[in-house]
């Protein structure tokens, strides 16, 4: 009797399972694959009413404000002229994403090249470049 009772409880479980094509990748509900395709162009307005300009993965430019919900379901949490921070939602990884303004100078990567002095002490002077043993 007890075995029949358990069978009746387990029988509807496959009916409750979501049907899915096993050959298709799982649906990305958070759309985190698009994060690297969006670009932040900057912000316009004063500090009280900033409006950010972002380019989505399709290449369309959009105007956004702080606390706005983007078409992907992301929420703009912070908006400054230099960067925009979004929250991707509960259960999504990463939980937050930051875009820097396009064209902003990155001190770590955009340092000017410093020309080092040559081994013989000359810096950029023209002269003979003969190698020893060659004519």
Residue 61 lies in a domain: yes
Residue 48 lies in a domain: yes
Q: How many domains does the chain have?
A: 1
Which CATH number fits the domain that encloses residue 63? 2.30.30.830
CB contact at 8 A, 65 and 53? no
The string of pLDDT tens digits covering residues 40-91 is: 988 898 878 899 999 988 999 999 998 999 888 889 999 998 989 999 888 8
Query: What is the structure's pLDDT at 51?
Result: 93
Query: What is the structure's pLDDT at 75?
Result: 93
Residue 83 lies in a domain: yes
Residue 69 lies in a domain: yes
What percentage of residues in the chain have a pLDDT greater than 90? 16
d(CA 90, CA 33): 16
Residue 108 lies in a domain: no
Number of other residues whose CB lies within 10 A of the CB of residue 51: 14
Residue 127 lies in a domain: no
Phi, psi of 7 (to 5 degrees): -65, -40
Residue 42 lies in a domain: yes
User: pTM for this one?
Assistant: 0.55
Residue 34: domain span = 27-100
Residue 47 lies in a domain: yes
Query: What is the structure's pLDDT at 88?
Result: 87
């Amino acid at each position: 009797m007890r075995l029949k009772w358990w069978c009746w409880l387990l029988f509807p479980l496959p009916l409750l399972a979501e049907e899915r094509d096993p050959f298709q990748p799982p649906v990305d509900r958070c759309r985190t694959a698009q994060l690297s395709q969006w670009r932040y162009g900057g912000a316009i307005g004063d500090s009280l009413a900033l409006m950010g300009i972002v380019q989505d993965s399709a290449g369309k430019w959009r105007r956004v404000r702080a606390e706005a919900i983007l078409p992907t379901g992301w929420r703009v949490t912070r908006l400054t002229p230099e960067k925009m921070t979004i929250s991707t939602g509960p259960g999504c990884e990463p939980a937050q994403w930051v875009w820097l303004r396009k064209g902003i100078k990155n001190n770590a990567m955009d340092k000017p090249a410093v020309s080092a002095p040559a081994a013989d002490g000359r810096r950029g002077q023209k002269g003979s470049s003969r190698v020893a043993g060659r004519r």
